[in-house]
């Protein structure tokens, strides 16, 4: 979203090169202590103002595609799915009191949780930025 003389236009969605994506609009970032998960700029824009976030519990063991949590906006409730197989080792508890962070900083402070993967190839199998851009560009 950019501002131009007070009129808002949809800019091309931000899709960082260093992340991986799912067709359900989650992103994944490879770090030293696991893989951080969140929802994309495209997803937060489509959802609108986020008012409530339901996070997984630490220690949950998830398979690819399992329900990870929920994001509720003023428009609808959407489920967030696990992009990779593994164990939840951290959650972003700050979203509880500031769910709007998902709207303002979806790839940064708006992260959802961190998963320690049990499947080495899971991350590499996700969409890269180019493939995700093509998916959202239709």
Partner 1 sequence: MSAPLMGDASEPTLFEFSSPGRRAFSLRTTDLPDVPMDALVPRPHQRGEPLEIVEVSERDLVGHFTRLAHRQYSVDLGAYPLGSCTMKYNPKICDEAASLRAFAGVHPATPPSAAQGWLQVLVELEEMLCEITGMAAATLQPAAGAAGELTGLLLMRAYHAAKGDHRTRVIIPDSAHGTNPASVTLGGYEVTTIGSDERGCVDVAQLREVLGPDVAGIMLTNPNTLGLFEEDIVEIAAMVHAAGGLLYYDGANLNPILGVVRPGDMGFDIVHMNLHKTFATPHGGGGPGAGPVAVSQRLVDFLPGPRPVRASGGVGFELVRPPASIGRVHSYFGNSLVLLRAWSYIKLNGAEGLRRVAEIAVLNANWIRASLRDLYDSPYDRPVMHECVLSVASLKRATGLRALDVAKRLLEFGFHSPTVYFPLIVEEALMIEPTETESPETVAALVVALRTIAEEARADALAGVALRAVSSPRTTPVERVDEARAARQLVPTFDASSYHH
- CB closer to partner 1, 46 vs 129: 46
- H or E segment and range at residue 63: none
Cα dist. 86→32, 60, 66, 82 in Å? 15, 8, 11, 9
Q: How many residues bind partner 1 (CB under 8 A)?
A: 18
Taking the CA of residue 43 as centre, how many other CA atoms within 13 Å lie in the half-sphere pointing to its CB?
26
Rule CB under 8 A: is residue 66 a binding residue for partner 1? Answer: no
Q: Shortest approach of partner 1 to residue 100 CB, angstroms? A: 7
In angstroms, rounded to a whole number, what is the distance separating the alpha carbons of residues 37 and 30? 9
CB of 18 to partner 1, least distance (A): 27
Write out the binding residues for partner 1, residues 5-44 only, by CB under 8 A: 5-10
Residues 72-91 that bind partner 1 (CB under 8 A): 74-76
Q: Should residue 4 be labelled a site residue for partner 1 when binding is judged by CB under 8 A? A: yes
What is the contact mask toward partner 1 in residues 44 to 63, using x (rule: CB under 8 A)? Answer: --x-xxxxx-----------
- Hey, which bits of the chain come out as E strands? 2-4, 7-9, 20-21, 26-31, 34-39, 50-54, 61-62, 67-73, 77-81, 86-91, 113-117
Nearer to partner 1, 33 or 97 (CB): 97
**In the complex, least distance from residue 42 CB atom to partner 1, rounded to whole angstroms:** 11
Are residues 43 and 126 in contact, defined by beta-carbon separation less than 8 angstroms?
no
**Binding mask of the shown chain, residues 96 to 115, with x at each position contacting partner 1 by CB under 8 A:** ---xx---------------
């Amino acid at each position: 979203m950019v501002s131009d003389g007070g009129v808002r236009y949809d800019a091309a969605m931000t899709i960082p090169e260093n992340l991986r994506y799912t067709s359900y609009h989650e992103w994944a970032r490879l770090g030293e202590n696991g893989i951080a998960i969140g929802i994309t700029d495209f997803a937060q824009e489509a959802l609108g103002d986020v008012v409530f976030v339901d996070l997984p519990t630490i220690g949950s063991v998830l398979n690819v595609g399992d329900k990870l949590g929920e994001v509720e906006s003023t428009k609808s409730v959407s489920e967030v799915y696990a992009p990779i197989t593994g164990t939840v080792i951290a959650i972003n508890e700050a979203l509880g009191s500031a769910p709007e962070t998902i709207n303002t900083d979806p790839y940064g402070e708006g992260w959802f949780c961190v998963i320690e993967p049990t499947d080495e190839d899971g991350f590499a199998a996700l969409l890269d930025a180019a493939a995700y851009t093509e998916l959202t560009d239709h």
